């Protein structure tokens, strides 16, 4: 019985580490967006930048794979400049403290998706030349 006691904490520790690794490797921001917004992004190759404050979030997702980019192009992007959308996104960005090098410039050629529900809003800006999606979420 005395030999079993040290084994129990070791098994528990290994289990916690295993579960953490599983959750970390199987979770991605694109999956969160799909679950919360019904927008079926492909898994990002990496998150370039992320900042949150007061329930507002700003993320930059990078895509390198041509296959993933093809899937992104299948989404219902709006391909025209929209000053109202730009102003709404900028209003959220102004509440966040982020590094200047990660500024979203609206003078670049972009496509966007905007959704609103349950006192929340999401803006997705796809800069095709950069192979990046800028995600701005707001809790209203």
Q: Please report, for the chain, the start and end positions of each structural domain, with discontinuous segments joined by +.
A: 29-139
pLDDT, tens digit (0-9, with 9 covering 90-100), for 111-125: 999 999 988 999 999
Work out the pLDDT band at 24, boundaries 50, 70, 90: very low
Give burial (CB, 10 Å; 0-12/13-18/19+) of 136.
buried
In this prediction, residue 44 carries a pLDDT of: 86
Mean pLDDT of the chain: 83
Among 23-37, 64-78, 97-111, 122-136, the minimum mean pLDDT is found in 23-37
Tokens read off for 118: 């349950």
Radius of gyration of the chain (CA): 19
pLDDT, tens digit (0-9, with 9 covering 90-100), for 38-69: 998 888 888 999 999 988 999 999 998 888 88
In this prediction, residue 34 carries a pLDDT of: 87
Fill in the DSSP letter of residue 75.
S
Fill in the DSSP letter of residue 98.
-
- Let me know: does 37 contact 122? Beta carbons within 8 Å: yes
Give the pLDDT mean for 82-108.
94
């Amino acid at each position: 019985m005395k030999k079993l006691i040290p084994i129990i904490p070791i098994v528990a520790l290994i289990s916690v580490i295993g579960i953490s690794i599983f959750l970390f490797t199987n979770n991605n921001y694109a999956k969160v967006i799909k679950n919360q917004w019904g927008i079926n992004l492909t898994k990002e190759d990496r998150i370039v930048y992320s900042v949150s404050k007061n329930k507002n979030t700003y993320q930059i997702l990078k895509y390198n794979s041509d296959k993933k980019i093809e899937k992104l192009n299948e989404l219902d992007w709006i391909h025209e400049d929209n000053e109202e959308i730009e102003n709404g996104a900028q209003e959220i960005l102004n509440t966040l403290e982020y590094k200047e090098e990660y500024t979203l410039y609206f003078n670049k050629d972009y496509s966007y998706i905007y959704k609103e529900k349950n006192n929340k809003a999401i803006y997705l800006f796809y800069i095709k030349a950069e192979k990046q999606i800028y995600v701005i979420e707001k809790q209203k």
